[in-house]
A and B are shown apart, each in its own frame.
Chain A
Amino acid sequence: MQTDMKSSAFQQFAEAADTIVNPEVKKWKDGGGKVMGYFCTAMPTEMITAAGFLPFRMRATGSTETELSDSFFSSLNCSFPRHAFNMALKGEYDFIDGLVIFNSCDHIRRVYDHWIRQIGTPFVKILSLPRKSEQPQVEWFRDELSTLREAMHEHFGVEITDDRLREAIALHNKSRRMLRDMYELRKSDSPPITGAEMLAVTVAGTTMPQERYNQLLGELSDDIRERSGQSGFRARLMVIGGELDNPEYIKVIEGQGGLVVTDAVCFGSRMIWKDVEEDADDPLRALAQYYIIDRPACARMYTEYPRRLDFIKNLIKDFNVDGVIFQRLTFCELWGFEQYSLTNDFKELDVPLLCLDREYTMSGVGQLRTRVQAFLETMGR
């Protein structure tokens, strides 16, 4: 991604978002560090950091085919796990030392079943993630995390002590705060960072050691404060939905003249909007409380639709959003039903909504351009 920023921080983020094994991962591995892969925003990455591992969120960046995974997934399955598993079958995920999967959705949970049979990752664990956000679910999830802690201890011999957890929580909270500060700057009339750039920054955070990430975020923050803001755009847009890890997608939207000023996606604001309690007596419970109740929930948490809608409405107001783009990976039922509810509820809002289905890879760019163009035009922009 081209940039006019002074430091190299953004370039490093862009490279991390555009590759799987970025230089930081390589350096980490070369230094004998271990990498723990995970599939979903619900993973308390603080635990992985506390274990002294690098948390790496699974993506399928760069994948173009599903020739190998087609034997395991059908054409009615979401293209994200199909591409990610294809990469695993090709050995492109051989660098991870372990993998944690949740029953996040019907497609991802079957990745676990195939992974343990087909891929030689030495440590693979599936955790049970509740579907609702109440106190008994916090307790359940705390116990799940405890079993993960024990399993990691048994397999890798690592101690995830409470003190280390508190340190990791503070470290991850620091990233969240720095990212929120950047989002804050986007509220201005001329935001100093585009939506595509911002997504590259948040995605990069899921692929590198947290301390290094925070250091680079500091540099980037200085850069963008000195940068002149974006101007001349046709509308302030917000992108919402589930899995979206490709800044190019946002770039195409922004290429039509709209500026994405905020989002509610898995790799974006939903990861960073709240902090985990730092001084809790029981940091595992604090993590469970955060991941089950406090953070903005995604569509799999069935009780949370009203809260999700409020989250979107508040972002619209705070970021002065003119139009919202909902994107969904085809065959995702969780976000499919969400689309129905949002379409109904947006009728009562003064902000237009555009719903787009997409594939994980950047196919159908021409159609995306046309749809966004038309959307901007219906908005009178």
Chain B
Amino acid sequence: MDAKKERSVSRFREEIDTYEPVLEVLALEPGEMGHLQIPLLKNMLQKHKRIIECVETGEPFMASQFTNPVEILAAMDIPWYFHVEQQFAAAGTGGSPHTMEDLEAMDKIGVPSDCCTLLRLLLYYQVAGLLPIPTAYLALTEPCDSVAGLHAAFMNHPDWRNVPAYTPDPPYHSDERSINYFAGELKRMVEFITKHMGKTLDMNRLKAAVEETNKGYALWMDYNDIRRAVPAPHSYIMPMSCFYLINTMGAGDPAQTEWYKDLITDAEMRMRENKPEVPDQKIRIFWYDLQPMFFGELVPWLEQEWGGVIAMDMVSYCPYQLVDTSTEDSIFRGLARRAFEDGPMVHQARGLADNVIHDITRIVKDYKIDCVVFPGHMGHKDMQASISLMRETCRDLGVAFLHLGIDICDKRYTSVEDIKGKFSQFFTAMGLG
């Protein structure tokens, strides 16, 4: 491999080197949660290895985004990677060793600092040659301006300019016409993949993949029902992995469905035996945003210091509707609805602010929430303009509301210590905990 290609997979290789020994230890001593952690890590590393193999051998592969239906990619047998994965993996695993150096280098590339850091960071990865250049790319323009702006810039990079790209265009409404329009966009996406990857879509395989992910989503919904229990069965990592597993790790694999079953079994056992992963829970928090990359520094403190548990959050809330697999049309329409209406971030931020009011109301009631925390990631400008509605909704519901003001990728914006201070002040003032 030439140096450029080698660099493009260097972060994948590092993660493999870091997590393979962890896997070995977990296999020997799985501890309480090992049986749930092992499949997640294995899956992530397998995906990394597959992309490295493609880069090494020249086999075509794609890059894609979390809203583009993975079932289609799985049914068409396309190797692919999710290019914001580095950030999300960092969040799930407690931060990447490169975070600070990446942020400092990112500051120098010239995107105004008021633009979303998650995407500035992604652009930096591209500039730094840390993203494998795919054969074709499935982009995304929802739910915010930053995503659309980023992609315009992204596809202008000299190394990516000639990579064919397709982006399904999300409508702003949610009616039948919108679903049909987006289903059409997905069908054109399949044509695009066929043209550039030389693979056709077998509808039977797509049906099978969707039926399998339907099972996963149904189990995830069951799991979320269990999470209504007080005390909450789990801390934040397992719930948030529900989204990651189904959206970035391929689809249609029964092993994934098994993982959800194991998760539910574990949650039920904890409820039965009154052994929640977080002991002494006192405050049930609804974290209404993405998880920051430094969540690992914050949540254990919340749990230990205040008995605060993330009872629900934006990423693991599961408003997904199952896909009707009876006809080709119903499959595409179902995938369309899921892609542009249901996913995290997209669900909250794509359409009218009514979504915000509806979600907060529903979650506060269903999950016996004591306080709604709006972290207020600096990139979410539509959400910044919805704070008054969040506050009003919480007031009507009689639940405490905290707006933090953070950058989910960059703790230089608001430090973890400052965030902790805000929490302590707030809990004290509200008489929580």
Contacts and interface: CB of A to CB of B under 8 A. Distances in A.
Given A132-B167, A302-B149, A333 B115 contact: yes
A140 B114 contact: no
A336 B429 CA distance: 39
B114 A330 contact: yes
Interface string B89-122: 0000000000000000000011110111001000
B387 interface: yes
B148 interface: yes
A71 B178 CA distance: 32
Interface string A305-319: 110000000000000
Contacts of A161: none
B382 A109 contact: yes
B146 interface: yes
Contact of A126 (B110, B172, B188): B172
A330 B141 CA distance: 21
A37 B156 CA distance: 35
Given A76-B378, A132-B167, A302-B167, A337 B115 contact: yes
B389 interface: yes
Interface string A112-146: 11100000000000111111100011001001000
A140 B152 contact: no
Given A136-B181, A300-B148, 11 more contacts: A105-B145, A106-B349, A128-B171, A129-B172, A299-B149, A302-B151, A303-B152, A331-B381, A332-B145, A336-B112, A340-B153
B352 interface: yes
A110 B116 contact: no
Contacts of A331: 114, 381
Interface residues of B, number: 50
Nearest to B151: A302
A187 interface: no
Interface string B264-305: 000000000000000000000000000000000000000000
Interface of A: 71-74, 76-78, 81, 103, 105-107, 109-110, 112-114, 126-132, 136-137, 140, 143, 299-300, 302-306, 328, 330-341, 343-345, 357
A113 B155 CA distance: 32
Given A74-B385, A107-B381, A128-B171, A333 B145 contact: yes
B138 to A, nearest CB: 13
Interface string B290-327: 00000000000000000000000000000000000000
Contacts of A336: 111-112, 114-115, 149
Contacts of B178: 128
Nearest to A134: B169
B54 interface: no
Contact of A328 (B112, B171, B349, B384): B112
6 contacts: A72-B388, A110-B382, A113-B353, A136-B185, A340-B110, A340-B123
Contact of B149 (A130, A337, A345): A337
Contacts of B151: 302
Contact of A302 (B111, B112, B148): B148
Contacts of A328: 112
Which of A81, A131, A132, A339 counts the most B-chain CB atoms under 10 A from its CB?
Answer: A131
B240 interface: no
9 tightest CB-CB pairs across the interface, nearest first? Answer: A337-B149, A128-B172, A110-B385, A113-B353, A106-B382, A74-B384, A336-B115, A106-B381, A131-B141
Contacts of A72: 385, 388
A128 B145 contact: no
A343 B387 CA distance: 34
B386 interface: yes
Contacts of B381: 76-78, 106-107, 331, 333
Contacts of A126: 172, 352
Contact of B389 (A77, A113, A345): A113
A303 B178 CA distance: 21
A71 B388 contact: yes
Contact of A140 (B142, B171, B386, B388): B171
